[in-house]
Amino acid sequence: SRKIKLRPQHLLDKMASRLEEDLCCPVCQEVFKDPLVLSCSHSFCKECLKSWWREKPSRECPVCKRRSSKADPPLNLVLKNLCESFLQQSDQRLSEDLCCPVCKKVFKDPVVLSCSHSLCKECLKSWWREKPARECPVCQRKSPKANPPISLKLFLEICVSFSLMMSRVLQNPDLNDECL
């Protein structure tokens, strides 16, 4: 058999993707909310299972169709805690991806330096006025370009991240429009 060498980041991306899949309800395909575990060991969001059972009163598992022995299955506390931690870390990464490391606010006119760090255009100008050596405020590497353009890739990533953040904000009214 042929061994496939994975780069560390590629491996981490694959693991994160697999983790997210494992933390998703098979009914709604979203990260579990108040997961219940059936006697067959399958887990579902509380609302998804209740809704499924309203349509199918035989109390069968939506995955394996095995009949549940309990009308009120127990909360899968370990899975609930894992999902909450995952969502919290995702929200933190999301806000970090959308926020300038200098002003800590959502990017305004973002620019990308040659070291790949992103900053608000005004933050960069201000930083470079104070530090004429034209170094990156994040990694302190020299960046020769005074007005680097935003890359299309970063712009698309920001748009996708913003869409994900907005969907989370709509689902969770406790989140606000400031960086976490």
Domain CATH code at residue 38: 3.30.40.10
Q: Same domain for 24 and 50?
A: yes
Do the Cβ atoms of 1 and 21 come closer than 8 Å? no
pLDDT along the chain (180 residues), means of 10: 51 58 88 94 95 91 92 92 82 67 79 79 84 80 59 61 69 53
Where among 65, 95, 125 does a domain terminate? 95
Question: Rounded to two decimals, what is the model's pTM?
Answer: 0.48
pLDDT score, position 147: 46
Q: What is the pLDDT of residue 148?
A: 47
Predicted confidence at residue 19, as pLDDT, reads 65
Residue 96 confidence (pLDDT):
62
Look at residue 86 in the predicted model and tell me its pLDDT: 80
Token representation of residue 135? 């170094």
Q: What is the pLDDT of residue 32?
A: 92
Q: Are residues 141 and 77 part of one domain?
A: no
Question: Which residue, 93, 77, 81, 72, is CA-closest to 12?
Answer: 93
Of 44, 72, 95, which residue is a domain's last? 95
Overall number of domains in the chain: 2
- Residue 158 structural domain: 99-180
**149 by DSSP, 3-state: which?**
coil
Question: Within a 13 Å sphere around the CA of 131, how many CA atoms are in the beta-carbon half?
Answer: 16
**Residue 83: partners with Cβ closer than 8 Å, 6 or more residues away:** 23, 31, 32, 33, 35
- Establish if 41 belongs to a structural domain: yes
Write down the pLDDT at residue 169.
66
User: Does one domain contain both 72 and 21?
Assistant: yes
What is the pLDDT at residue 45?
Answer: 95
Q: Residue 162: phi, psi to the nearest 5?
A: -65, -40
- Give the distance, in angstroms, between the CA of residue 33 and the centroid of all CA atoms in the same chain: 16
Q: What is the pLDDT of residue 174?
A: 60
Task: Give the pLDDT confidence score for residue 154 in this predicted structure.
Answer: 61
Cα–Cα distance, 25 to 150 (Å, whole number): 37
Which pLDDT score, from 0 to 100, does residue 51 have?
94
